[in-house]
Structure 1
Amino acid sequence: MKKNPMLTDYRVLDITQIVAGPTCTRILAEMGAEVVKLELAPFGDRTRVGGLRSNKPEHKRCSQSTYFIQHNHSKKSLALDFKSERARELIKAMIPKFDVLVENFSPGVMARAGLSYEELKAINPKLVMCSISLAGQQGELAQKPGYDYVAQAYAGITDLIGERDGEPALITMAIGDASTGVAAAMAVGFALLHRERTGEGQYIETSLLDTYFNMHEVAVPRVSLRKNHTPVRTGSQHPDGGPTGIFRCGDGSYLTLATLPHQWTAFVEALGQPGLLDDERFATAALRRDHNEELKEILEGWLAGFATRADAIAALERHRIPCAPVLTLREAMAHPHLRERGVVREVQDPYIGDFDIPGPPARFSAWPTGGPLRADLLGQHNEDVLKSLAGLDDDDIGQLYRDGVLVRDPLLGTPATANEKTEA
């Protein structure tokens, strides 16, 4: 007997765009929740014009993109003019039908729209509302505009990336955005569990800055306790040595290797250089850190003796040394392990074609993930959502189209009711 997904019968109103908020709601959707994505008219989520789009002439005005599909599949699209008072009235009318609301406007926007948590809580006391922002809802940075890279810089992350004598470097992918979305989804799940036990909804907030700062591994206590200590950039090597980092192989490729202090003897055995155990430069983990450059030179000299990277990795793995080839993205996407686990999944979109996207970050024994994925065109579920959740009829919906409160993708055609003239 096929089991329903774990969040079946939970309903989520998603008023988010770009990556962090959509990641949160996409995870909830994949877990079975009915997610209604409220997109802002006239263009919808800004990522609809990002990534790759259909190159077919007949799809020139299509609202679909690979960027949008990756972060918003499995949701229903409701496209409203959020600035319209009528649209905000509709949101309030639907709030009793929702278990969760997730938004990532700048702090204060929801309150100015009459949609603060306190106002919505009065309508639906069981509502779980989650706000996602750059730096939190209060504090001197709260009103600062920005995205992932801005939070990365404020968190002291950017300054630690790059070569020792070079400039700070950027992590050129939305690590903070995606991680904040995962944290928000986790928090929503916890809040729903709390609600199941107490009957109480609650307000959650998280930010990219909070998430990024939480990623610091060991440096924060070190800086706190040692008043004159300033971490330095160490390029492709871990600041604590190990050896841990990225190393060049004899065939010109690279591998990454991580050796913890308790693995030092096994590492020396793998290299077949027992004399390193008696070398005073490497007698302790702290000394190995201080002499990391010499250790790197020894390791790369050893790696140069192998015809291929695969041979070197096999020699290391015989001694249980954690290591891996530094794969290109294309190589990673083709790896059979990632394919078998669904870490790489295929989307079959009627407008763009077949392409790969990342799979979900967790697995559950009680509910297998997988199956075909879909992503709505802009406003594809306008009628369905407004009829079932707001109690509107065709005439009401037609008037909303004529007033410009509702919009939808041109490929969906114009609803017949929208063409009818309003009676005097």
Structure 2
Amino acid sequence: MDAKKLGALRTDLERELKENILPFWMTLAPDKEHGGFAGYISHQNHVDLKANKGIVMHARILWTFSAAYLVYHDPAYLETAARAYEYITGHFTDRESGGVYWELNYRGAPVTMRKQVYALAFTIYAMTEYWHACGEKEALASAVRLFGEIEEHALDRERNGYIEALSREWEPVEDVRLSVKDANERKTMNTHLHILEAYTSLFRVHRDPRLREALDNIIRLFTERFIDRETWHLRLFFDDDWNLRSDFISFGHDIECSWLLDEAAGVLGNRELEEECGRIAVQMARVNFRGLDHEHGLIYEFFPGENRADTDRHWWPQAEAMVGYFNAYQRSGDEEFALKAIGIWEFIKKRMIDRTYGEWVWSVNREGIPATGNEKAGFWKCPYHNGRACMEMMRRIDESLAAGKKKNHLKT
């Protein structure tokens, strides 16, 4: 791959991270009156300090600014991470029953107290990264404790897999949905994907045999249950007995899974599994090209049974596609993947980055019109997807450029 193209891409990404994404969150999001971060910021940057606060947003901010500090060692990034960490430990952590609350009011009092396993996974991911950033021992202890709680309460020991949600006291609940648009099914790909992500991060620093076994197990759940080996798309919703309860395609989740699964197998260190997941990553990335539209943006979903597509381009699938395609390039050496990653970045610059108010828009429709009624910051709109994509791509480009220099040196 042309080194100048990759170098220019890296420069673009670093500028986007340091001059747009991170400053937006540092400037507008902190709730200096009530603590933590504001629960809602509109498309036009109206900050609602009385909006409820979500654990996922706070955990994602914690992860992003911890990761940014590890890259740049800017004290302002660590200060932002510390604000998130202190609010999670002081308000979201359930001191009586364990785990974390899903939702608080703006003053920090619990509103939704059930245990959403997705949220526990993100908190593990964030706490582990914060420990990396500053060595806070209690952060790592919290991550290990949450891992134990997931394994104790959410693992289905009879049929395998993890239950989507439980009550505050870890009892079964009727409605386990992560959001109102999700199917009410007890085993979902999305929650398993972020358990995979969290366990991968934790296993890097906590080489516990029980965690190794759990990570190995969830990798195999993806290779054996969630990935359709005929279509190379993900199966998204299951009941307790692993009966498939959905048939639609989520292009963003497909490509995000491709590189997270590959990464997990590498961290686990099982050579055979690593090679298998590398092949899967390349295959899933190639099939994912079908979701690219006339502007080289990745559409949201496709419903084969209805021959219908949701052609909106949401912010997060673009970020994940950039990383997933470049990972496939690194795995295969096929430059088409690198060119597709660059193409996604060009689309992001054209359509997703908000040149007026900052950050990225929630989505644009097929005509390129942004969804101005959706938030810039909220329960789901956080700096994690786009911030992580910038940092991942910078690191991966550095690796590719270094490998290219080494190869050229050997030739001479």
Q: Which has the higher strand share?
A: 1
TM-score (norm 2): 0.26
TM-score (norm 1): 0.25
| Larger Cα-atom Rg | 1
Question: Which has the larger share of helix?
Answer: 2
